[in-house]
Amino acid sequence: MRPNPFQRPGESPQKTGFRFETFFAKLLGVEPTKGSGNQWTAKLDLKAASFLMSLKFSTKDVLRFGSYRMRDLLRETDQAINGQGGVGGSTIGVVVTHEQESGLTFITMNADDFLRMIQSGDIEYVVASKGVQKRARAKIPALLREEEED
C-alpha cells in the first residue's frame, strides 16, 4: 500500500477526508464549502466555476463509501443542483473520489452533463491563476507566441 499523503498518524478518517477536500480545493483555486455535511444550506464540498462537487476519500483498496453506490452519490449532486433549495442554472454535479491504494483521483459525472459541457458554450471552466498563465507563457519562445488582443 502506498503512503497516504492526506492522513496523519492517529487521525480520524473524517479529518483525512477534510484534508483531501482542502488539497483539491487549492488545486482549483477555491475554498472548501464551510459546513458541508453538517448544514443543509452548505451544498456539497466545493463550488468551482460551473461545477458543484462532492469529494470522497477512501482508505480501502477499492472505492467504497459505506452503503453508497456511485449512482447515489451522483443523485446527491443532482439534488443539490435541481432539488428544493438547489443552486440551479447550468451547474454540473461532479463526484471526486480518491483511492489510497492506487493514489488515483477520479472525477465522475453524468454523461448527459458531460455532453452538455462539451457541446454548449454556456459552461464556465476553471481558469488558471495569473501566475500559472504567466509561467506557461514564459515557456513558449517569444517568436512563437501568439499576440494577445485587448
Q: Give the whole-angstrom CA distance, residue 38 versus residue 25.
A: 19
Mean pLDDT, residues 84-101 taken together = 83
Mean pLDDT, residues 54-60 taken together = 80
Question: 150 pLDDT band (50/70/90 cuts)?
Answer: very low
pLDDT of res. 113: 85
Mean pLDDT, residues 81-99 taken together = 84
Question: 67 pLDDT band (50/70/90 cuts)?
Answer: low
pLDDT of res. 65: 60
pLDDT of res. 2: 55
Q: In the predicted model, is pLDDT for residue 132 greater than 80?
A: no
Q: In the predicted model, is pLDDT for residue 92 greater than 70?
A: yes
Alpha helices, H only, 33-146: 70-82, 111-119, 130-138
Those residues whose C-beta lies under 8 Å from the C-beta of residue 41, and which sit 6 or more positions away, are: 35, 85
Extract the C-alpha cell encoding 70. Answer: 456511485
Extract the C-alpha cell encoding 121. Answer: 458554450
The top-scoring range by mean pLDDT among 13-17, 99-103, 105-109, 127-131 is 105-109
pTM: predicted TM-score of the whole model, two decimal places: 0.69
